[in-house]
A = this chain, B = another copy of it.
């Protein structure tokens, strides 16, 4: 098919009319579809239904093993079996891991809150400083940015390349400005682009020399075992920071939200001994311990980590066709038209579509008015400001395949329509 940019005004007008007709036909169906959030589908949740079953007998064993009753108070660091599970996912030692509640986002929020109120390892509480700044590789995860906004942290966007954030910029900025206290990273299958950090990028992070002693890398390894095809390896940040004698620089987060249940999993953090001790000093005031019974359910269901890889293949089998439905629709309906580009991720939960400049907001609006909810345009950027108004995050995990076919079809019509409108304006 012809690239839109090559079309005459007349051809564009004809195309627009045809698209409007198709759009209205879809609109007439009154659909309610959603490609906005990275929620697992019902079929994915059913994979862990064994977690709901009785575990009383096995509890007896573990109780003896640990010499504590898991139903009672205590156990701030998490039970051994749960630490083993997350350690397997992150390829670290169980001792490196602190277990939290059902949300790693909550743990990240609380980690910043702790730095804000108490300071990190004896440094000045961030809340007492005139200014706190943060590096935000963008596009990135909207909920990370929302935490910065909540605390009034100034966000500095950092461009993303194919192998991770622009490391020249990261190194330069952290070296010269001690108000910069952290950076968000989703190192594997980044949200939303699905980018995998190269070995060089991970090593440069591990060797970072920030001006601020209390600078921390928030390494949100949310998709560490979330492959669509074969396993994809990245360098281990905990190991690399140790090699670099820089082990206090990183907090590595993960959860089972997209392994077991999105709302009822377990989460945790791998970090240096000093960082863990610092975190525990706050946690011991904050709570008498997270839910150890749910930790036990997870430890047993995933055999302390041994069953994770096998389990994730089942997720992949459910997710892969959904990604492929969207990718095929994009290729079929947009290929050759030069109205946008899109990634082809090997894991994670998102496909990023990059529209013609100035079109993203209009596309999302058109989709919405046709019954397809997308993540808001701008959401993957600090302050919701996409400088080019072009990036749209597509989340194919939640709808059924049938719904997804319709949603993707409608989306491509909206892309084409917005692009034609744009070209006619010029």
A residues with a Cβ closer than 8 A to B are 37, 39-40, 42, 45, 48-49, 52-56, 59, 69-75, 101-103, 105-106, 109-110, 113, 116-118, 127, 143, 146-147, 149-151, 257, 261-264, 282, 285-294
Contacts and interface: CB of A to CB of B under 8 A. Distances in A.
Nearest to A109: B286
A188 to B, nearest CB: 20
30 contacts: A39-B72, A39-B73, A45-B69, A48-B71, A49-B56, A52-B56, A54-B54, A70-B264, A71-B264, A72-B262, A73-B257, A101-B291, A102-B291, A103-B287, A103-B288, A103-B290, A109-B286, A110-B286, A113-B113, A113-B117, A117-B127, A118-B150, A143-B285, A150-B282, A263-B292, A263-B293, A264-B291, A264-B293, A264-B294, A291-B294
Contacts of A285: 109, 143, 146-147, 149-150
Given A109-B285, A110-B286, 20 more contacts: A49-B56, A52-B59, A53-B56, A54-B54, A71-B263, A72-B262, A75-B263, A101-B101, A102-B290, A105-B288, A106-B286, A109-B286, A118-B150, A147-B285, A149-B285, A262-B288, A264-B291, A264-B292, A264-B294, A291-B291
A297 B365 CA distance: 40
A163 B154 CA distance: 50
A51 to B, nearest CB: 8
Nearest to A282: B150
A46 to B, nearest CB: 9
A60 B285 CA distance: 38
Contacts of A116: 117, 127
Nearest to A151: B117
Nearest to A285: B150
Cβ-closest 4 pairs across A and B: A264-B293, A71-B261, A106-B287, A102-B291
Contacts of A257: 73
Contacts of A106: 286-287
Contact of A54 (B52, B110, B143, B289): B52
Contacts of A55: 52
A263 B74 contact: yes
A95 B264 CA distance: 23
Contacts of A52: 54-56, 59, 293
A74 to B, nearest CB: 7
Contacts of A49: 56
